[in-house]
């Protein structure tokens, strides 16, 4: 099943991302994050490590700490290809 949600993603370390979205995540859940920006799209497999509610501008949002699952794109992630993705809108599938 695919459920599309708009999120904002920041890279916090070599193997973790932070996503801000409108729905909570389930710790241990595995999903795909499709990053899109600058005419490039990349799908990353992640697992939810932590999900916390936060209030932003009077609205409840959820901050998800996501662990990258090693895959064939790992080499591109470790390089400079995704270094500029901080704050890029994405979709979580």
pLDDT at 80: 40
Residue with structure tokens 């400079």?
A: 80
Grouped pLDDT means (10 residues each) for the chain, 93 residues: 80 94 94 87 92 95 95 50 46 51
pLDDT at 16: 96
How far is the C-alpha of 76 from the C-alpha of 67, rounded, in Å?
Answer: 16
Please name the residues in contact with 21: beta carbons below 8 A apart, sequence gap of 6 or more: 5, 6, 7, 8, 61, 62, 64, 92
pLDDT at 91: 54
> E-assigned strands of the chain?
5-13, 16-21, 30-37, 40-56, 59-68, 88-92
pLDDT at 92: 53
Assign domain 5-92 to its CATH superfamily: predicted glycosyltransferase like domains (2.40.10.220)
Q: Hey, where are the domains in the chain?
A: 5-92
């Amino acid at each position: 099943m695919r459920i599309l949600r708009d999120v904002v993603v920041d890279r916090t370390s070599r193997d973790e991302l932070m996503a801000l979205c409108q729905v909570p995540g389930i710790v241990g859940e595995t999903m795909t994050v499709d990053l899109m920006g600058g005419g490039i799209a990349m799908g990353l497999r992640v697992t939810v490590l932590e999900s916390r509610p936060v209030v932003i501008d009077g609205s409840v949002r959820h901050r998800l700490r996501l662990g990258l699952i090693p895959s064939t794109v790992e080499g591109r992630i470790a390089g400079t290809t995704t270094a500029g993705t901080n704050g890029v809108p994405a979709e979580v599938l």
